[in-house]
Amino acid sequence: MPRSNRPRRPARPAPGGRGRQGGGPKPDDDGEDFDLERVLAGFARLESAPDGDWRVRQVTTRNAAKEYTCPGCSRTIPPGVAHVVVWADDHLFGEEAGIAERRHWHTRCWQTRTYRYR
C-alpha cells in the first residue's frame, strides 16, 4: 500500500506527559532563545594597561538608550550605537568612587587611547 502524504494525528499524551512526539530537545518554558550577547553585556571584564586597571563593560545597541560624550574623541555617542563603559578598578577612594566616575567610550576610541586619561 502506498504511503499517505497527510500528516498524522498527534499521539495522545501520556498521563503527566507533554504529548510531544520524537526525542528531540524540549523547548524552554519561557519560549525565549538564549542570547549570549545579552548575557555577556552585564559583565565587566578587567583590563590592565600602563595607566592602571580598568573595568570595561560592553553596551549593546539594544541597551544604548542615551546620548553620551566620548572622552577619547569628544564626539557624542548617539542612542543605538554600541560602545563600552569604563571605570577605574583601582580608584584611590574605593570601588564606589570608581563606578561614580565611569565614562562611556566609543569601542575604537577605547582600544586606541594614548593612556593619558587620568
- Cut 0.85: pTM above it: no
Give the chain's mean pLDDT.
76
Q: Using the predicted structure, report yes or no on whether residue 106 has a pLDDT greater than 90.
A: yes
Interval 33-54: pLDDT, tens: 555 555 555 678 888 888 888 8
Residues with Cβ within 8 Å of residue 66, at least 6 apart in sequence: 79
Residue range 36-111 in CATH 3.30.1740:
yes
Residue 35's pLDDT is: 54
Question: Bigger pLDDT: 16 or 100?
Answer: 100
Q: Is 59:84 a contact under the CB 8 Å cutoff?
A: yes
Written as nine digits, the cell of 87 is 571605570
